[in-house]
Amino acid sequence: MGFVPLINFLIEWDFAKNISLLLAGDALAAKQGRAEDVLLALQYHLREDLTLKAGYRILEGGADVEEVYNFALIHFVVAGATFRF
């Protein structure tokens, strides 16, 4: 057991006026285990400083080492807002 650094990524595709697709997450895999926290969301930009989003998030990971075997897989439907100031 111990600290596991994850690689962060964010991809945003503006495919229409005021609408974009967001793929964001943190992930890393090794022979001892893995961890993923990934969001795929559709975003609607109401104003320059306000964005609404809705999508799907998956949280998965665990360890398979001599001391422990533990994995979890959790699915989310998410909705949110981002206000930039």
Domain boundaries, the chain: 8-83
Mean per-residue pLDDT of the chain: 92
Q: What is the pLDDT of residue 1?
A: 56
Q: What is the pLDDT of residues 10-24, one digit of tens each?
A: 999 999 999 999 999
Q: What is the pLDDT of residue 68?
A: 82
What three-state secondary structure class fits 31?
Answer: coil
Q: What is the pLDDT of residues 59-82, one digit of tens each?
A: 998 888 888 888 999 999 999 999
**pTM as predicted:** 0.84
